[in-house]
Amino acid sequence: MKHNPLVSVLINNFNYELYLVEAIESALNQTYRNIEVVVVDDGSTDGSLELLRQFGDRIRVVSQKNQGQAAALNSGFNESTGDWVLFLDADDILNSGAIESLVGVVATLPREYAAIQFKLCCIDAQSRAILPKQTNPRSFRDGDPLSSLLSAGSYCFAPTSGNLFRAESLREVMPVPVETYQICADLYIQTAIPFVGKIHFVSEGTLGSYRIHGSNNFVTKEKEERKIILKLQRELSLGSAKRSLIGILSKKHGHSVSAFALRPGQSALLKQLVCKKSTGKIEGEEPDGPILVEMLCNVVKRSHGLRDCMSNIRVCL
C-alpha cells in the first residue's frame, strides 16, 4: 500500500445550501493533507452554486442537470483520482482528524479489504448532538458480510458518509444504475461491495457527524400518511432491486445464495400491507418515523389481530 495514499472526498449536493459550506470545510480542514475534494451539484435551484464559487480552486466542482443521487455519485467517482474514496453527503460533517485516522487503519489492512466503515455522531439541523448519539448498530461486524447477504439478504452498514472505499474495488461495481437508484444510491454500493472484498469496522470513537433534519412545518395526518405511502413504495422498489442484485452478483461470482435472501422479509411484507390498505393520490416527501410506526401497528391490528408483532414492527423500521 502507498505510504501516503490520495483520498478523494466526493460531496453530492442538491439544494443543501444550508449545510453545504460546513460539509466542504470539514473536508478541506483535515489534518491529513493528501486529499482532493470534488463537489457534484445535481441541478440545485437554491444558492448552492454561488457558495461553491467562493471556494475557488480548493475544490473541483461538477455541475450537472438534476438526475438523482446515483448520477451524482457516478459523476463524482469519474472525476476522482484517489486511491481511496469517501462519499460525504452535503449535510454531513467529518471530524478534522477523520481521514488521518482512516489512513492509519488502511496501512494495517491487507488488499482483500474493499472498504472501512466507521461511526458517526448524530446531529440536528443546528449541528447539536441528538439521541441516539452514535450510528453504532449492535449488528456491525468486522470482516466478511457476504455470508449474511447470501443467507439473509442483508447486513448492517453505515450511512453514506460513514464509509471509506478502496477505489479499485469501487471500479469493479460502479457505475450505480441511474434509473433504479435516483435515491438511496449507497444501497447499491453497499450491496455490491461485499462481493469484491471484505469490510473493516472501526469500533473506537466517532469520526464525523450524520445530520438528521426535516421540515418543521405543520402538516395534517392525512397528508403525512400520503407521504409515508410514497416512501414505502420507493423502499419496496429498492428492496426488490437489491434482491435482484444479490442474485445477479451471486451467479457472477459463483456463490450459492439462499432462497430466504431473495424473498421479501417481514419489513417488506408489512410495508406492502400498508400500501394495499391505503387509497388516494400518492404525493409528498420524507415522513416522520413515529407516524409510520402508528400506521403499521394499526394495520396489523386490523388485519389479523397480530398484536404481538408490534415490537417486531418497530425493530424492522
Instruction: Answer yes or no: is 64 within a domain.
Output: yes
Q: What is the pLDDT of residue 57?
A: 97
Same domain, 194 and 270: no
pLDDT tens for the chain, residues 1 to 317: 578 999 999 999 999 999 999 999 999 999 999 999 999 999 999 999 999 999 999 999 999 999 999 999 999 999 999 999 999 999 999 999 999 999 999 999 999 999 999 999 999 899 998 866 666 555 556 678 888 888 877 788 889 999 999 999 999 999 999 988 888 889 899 989 999 999 999 988 899 999 988 732 333 344 555 565 566 566 666 777 787 788 788 888 888 777 666 665 545 555 554 555 554 433 333 344 444 445 455 544 444 443 444 334 333 33
Predicted TM-score (pTM) of this structure:
0.73
Q: For residue 186, what are the domain limits?
A: 7-211
DSSP letter (8 states) at residue 120: E
The structural domain count of the chain equals 2
Same domain, 83 and 171: yes
Are the beta carbons of 246 and 149 closer than 8 angstroms? Answer: yes
From 161, 124, 141, 116, select the one nearest 13 (Cα to Cα).
161
Same domain, 203 and 256: no
Final residue of a domain: which of 211, 235, 253? 211
Same domain, 138 and 272: no
Instruction: Answer yes or no: is 259 within a domain.
Output: yes
Distance between CA 25 and CA 23 in Å, rounded? Answer: 6
Same domain, 82 and 163: yes
Residue 201 sits in a domain of what CATH number? 3.90.550.10
Please, which contacts does 109-114 make with residues 24 or more away whose CB atoms are closer than 8 Å? Answer: 109/1, 109/200, 111/1, 112/197, 112/198, 113/166, 113/197, 113/198, 113/199, 113/200, 114/165, 114/166, 114/169, 114/193, 114/194, 114/196, 114/197, 114/198, 114/199
Distance between CA 61 and CA 92 in Å, rounded? Answer: 18
Same domain, 194 and 162: yes
SS3 of residue 44 by DSSP: coil
Q: What is the pLDDT of residue 213?
A: 82
Distance between CA 78 and CA 182 in Å, rounded? Answer: 17
Same domain, 124 and 146: yes
Final residue of a domain: which of 211, 239, 268? 211
Same domain, 69 and 119: yes
Are the beta carbons of 122 and 210 closer than 8 angstroms? Answer: yes
C-alpha cell, 73: 455519485
Q: What is the pLDDT of residue 215?
A: 38
SS3 of residue 74 by DSSP: helix
Same domain, 160 and 93: yes
Are the beta carbons of 27 and 92 closer than 8 angstroms? Answer: no
Between vectors from CA 288 to CA 285 and to CA 290, what angle results, nearest 5°?
155
Same domain, 47 and 95: yes
Same domain, 196 and 121: yes
Same domain, 19 and 66: yes
Are the beta carbons of 170 and 189 closer than 8 angstroms? Answer: yes
Over the Cα atoms of the chain, what is R_g? 20
Q: What is the pLDDT of residue 204?
A: 85
Residue with cell 400500501: 275
